[in-house]
Structure 1
Amino acid sequence: MEEAVAGCVATLGKAVDTDWTAVKAGRLEWDCRETAAHVAGALLAYAGQLAGRAQQRYVPFEITLDGDEDGLDPTDNAGVLQVLETTGALLVATLRTTPREVRAFHPFPFRSANREGFAAMGVTEVLLHTHDIAEGLGIGYEPSPDLAEAVLTRIFPQVRPGPTPWATLLWATGRGDLAGRAPVTDWRWSNNLVVPAARLTLQGITPAAARDLRQGGDGGFEWIEGGPFEGTRDAAGMLVKAYEAGVHRPEWGVFALVRTEDGRAVGGMGFHGAPDEQGRAEIGYDLVEGARGQGYATEALRALSQWALDRDDVRSVFATVDRDNAPSQGVLERAGFTQVGEGEAEYAYELRD
């Protein structure tokens, strides 16, 4: 966030003596000054959502760029940049002091985001609208690839990576072209899905987190001792492959099972992909050894299966389990699944709507 705002201020500072109200910001209907004010308002709003723990709607306040009581005019271009620096600093301070498990309201697409999501949205606002303003003012701008990559792998999980992160982000938001891809005319970012269970929350794993898990990291989660289990790392690797191929659908990906009592992850659960043409979604799961035998997998499986079956495009949830894995068979049966087939090494289970 700090890097994004600093790059914005440094770039736009080159044109501080230009009339920002005289030209449109890139392809937007706003002029350059209106666009800068929008960015400041977005950063302040995100800080307010997290700081106030808003759950149902945006906190009803907004920013205005008025003159002060001494007659000074902070609405000149230098003043606008100062407001951008200030609202960016407020969001950074809020991100640093907000616990990881806190989520606050944001409408798209699942009506909440955590601090990582708000950080990514804030960076996106800064990067894209700095590009818009710079384009309108006729000055060059390109952020670091790492910033664009961080945004793409956190809140654009459905977008297949392109030749460079910045070119991909511009294309994904209707601001540029990529060879072999149709122009984008309608877009939204996608924060991770969170599904509540009895003593857990199932938190969608982003491509950024999946890459870290695949490489031996913790994916940004605090795991109980012994975690994450190897099955979760394998599933994270499959998620990364799907993301890189452009076929990842975040709601049909992998979820970390996080205890509500202490915010620690105890396992992973997820789908093998989107439902097939018959409306069947295949599911799999594992638990860290220290969390087994406590009912966590059953609770999570009930919650995630019900979430899937509540959708119009799902008719059944399917799972396979080794013939000698009696504990996992018990999890499926307690979650309401029925054995529907058997092979040489596995049993097949299904839960229908």
Structure 2
Amino acid sequence: MRAIGGDQVEEAVAGCVAALRPAVERDWEGVKAAGLDWSCHQTAFHIAEDLVAYAANLAGRAQDDYVPFEITLDDGTDNAGLLHVVESTGALLAAAVRTAPREVRAFHPYPFRSADREGFAAMGIAEVLLHTHDIAQALGLPYEPSEELAESVLTWLFPHVQPGPAAWPTLLWATGRGELSGRAPVTEWRWRNNLVIPTERLTLVGVRPAAARDLRLGGDGGFEWVDGGPFQGTRDAAGMVVKAYEAGVHRPEFGLFALVRREDGRAVGGMGFHGAPDEEGRAEVGYDLVEAARGQGYATEALRALSEWALARDDVRLLMATVDQENLPSQAVVTRSGYDRATVEEERTAREQDDMDSVLQLYLRRD
């Protein structure tokens, strides 16, 4: 899996400074950054503000808002000094990312009010890459980050954006900064950190496309698994995420979740949806557990929480689960999670219209 962490934050910042340093003797206050109302000086300072804010929230474990402080420049700070501030705040974010435990999440407003260490790293990198582009364009300087950095930002923060032929032009297009052949211009955009759903003993952690690709290829997806994990069903579900992402139809909140045990941070299974709800508000759920974690109520706890989260939405009316008729433990899981066995007619319709296998039983939970 392509890494995203402190090293990548530092790489992005180093690229920013290298690109802008040739113009430190020029007037950054009097030139607007490309596509922005800010001057080049204000935009560079904004990069530093974001880097230190992300570092503070992650290091301080902020939960409800940004840590209440601001940075200022000393009077008379020149452009070279401003770049030094960018370097220093980038180093602070890199350190915060490196030292934060895997399970830590801290406040960020969009879209689910939190981000993990990789999310903060990706957001910091995105701010650096995009605003360096804005400044460089305005000053007539060449700038293009590595394809690896741009791809990391896309796969960690833009899971809803279909990959393009090259990552950097795709990221510029996705943020309203460029054109991409065959795609309409973007006028409004926001990135997406992954969704987490807490339960008493577990955290359901949304699996990003980068992690899903790694799982599909036999890796651990960035999770520490209990012995025997991940189960093949989780790898298959990860493949479905990758396929949807590459087709441009992935809706992250209706993808795959890793079931992470809160007591030790180890993943015990996977659970999620077979796709976004259809026009009638129907969505199918599926799950599996590593054998060592079975029989302890984890699947029931997770399925109940995921189902309640989904049915609280306006676009979900009916949840479906199919279970092998010989799999009595799984039948018990869905029943304890509020699902009812479908009627004979409902199962017949599912077999005829949805090609449900004859050895499966259909269970439903309604809003």
Partner residue in 2 for 1:249: 251
Q: Does 1:28 align with 2:30?
A: no
1:176 paired residue number? 178
Match of 1:275 in 2: 277
Q: Distance in 1 between matches of 2:175 and 2:358?
A: 49
2:5 matched residue in structure 1 = none
**Corresponding residue number in structure 1 for 2:71:** 63
Helix, strand or coil: the match of 2:63? coil
Match runs of 1:288-299 below 5 Å? 288-299=290-301
Query: CA separation in 2, counterparts of 1:344 and 1:23?
Result: 68
The Cα offsets for residues 89-114 of structure 1, whole Å up to 9 and x where unpaired, read as: 00011111100100000000000000
1:50 is aligned to: 58
Alignment correspondent of 2:6:
none
**What's the counterpart of residue 107 of structure 1?**
109
Within the candidate set 214, 217, 224, 1:215 is matched to 217
- In 1, the alpha carbon distance for the partners of 2:27 and 2:20 equals 12
| In structure 1, distance between residues paired with 2:29 and 2:133 | 16
How far apart, CA to CA, are the structure 1 residues paired with 2:120 and 2:177? 22
| Paired AA for residue 226 in structure 1 | G
Q: Which one-letter code corresponds to 1:63 in the other structure?
A: I
1:122-143: per-residue Cα shift (whole Å, max 9, x none)? 0000000000000010011000
Residue aligned with 2:362, SS: strand
Alpha-carbon separation, structure 2, partners of 1:236 and 1:65: 46
Helix, strand or coil at the partner of 2:342: strand
Q: Give 5+ residue unaligned stretches, structure 1.
A: 68-72
From 307, 317, 320, give the equivalent of 1:318: 320
What aligned pairs does 1:108-257 form with structure 2 within 5 A after superposition?
A: 108-257=110-259
Q: Is 1:37 equivalent to 2:69 in the alignment?
A: no
The one-letter amino acid paired with 2:315 is D
* Residue among 360, 363, 366 paired with 1:346: 360
Shift of residue 313 of structure 1?
Answer: 1.1
Question: How big is each residue's C-alpha offset from its partner over 1:192-216, in whole Å with a ceiling of 9 and x where there is no partner?
Answer: 0001112101000000000110111
Q: Give deviations 1:263-313, integer Å, cap 9, x for gaps.
A: 100000000111111111110000001000000000000000000000011
Q: Give me the whole-angstrom Cα distance separating, in 2, the residues matched to 1:288 and 1:310.
A: 29
2:83 maps to: 81
Question: Number of matched residues?
Answer: 347
- Could you give the per-residue CA deviations for residues 239-270 of structure 1, whole angstroms, max 9, x where no partner exists? 00100000000000000000111110000000
Structure-2 separation of matches of 1:187 and 1:201: 28
1:317 alignment partner, SS class: strand
Partner Cα separation in structure 1 for residue 18 and residue 201 of structure 2: 47
Equivalent position amino acid for 2:359 in 1: A
Specify the SS of the correspondent of 1:65.
Answer: coil
d(CA) in 2 for partners of 1:290 and 1:308?
Answer: 28
- State the distance in 1 between where 2:258 and 2:17 align: 38
Q: Please state whether the residue corresponding to 1:187 is helix, strand or coil.
A: coil
Any unmatched runs of 5+ in structure 2?
Answer: 1-8, 348-356
**Distance apart, 1:344 and its partner CA:** 2.4
Q: Give runs of ≥4 in structure 1 deviating > 2 Å.
A: 341-344
**Secondary structure at the residue paired with 2:94?**
helix
| Residue type of the alignment partner of 2:47 | V
In the aligned structure 2, how far is the partner of 1:7 from the partner of 1:234? 38
RMSD over equivalenced CA pairs, Å:
0.8
Alignment partner, residue 16 of structure 2: 8
For residues 43-62 of structure 1, the C-alpha deviation after alignment (integer angstroms, 9 at most, x for no partner) is 00000001111001111111
Q: Which residue of 2 aligns with 1:70?
A: none
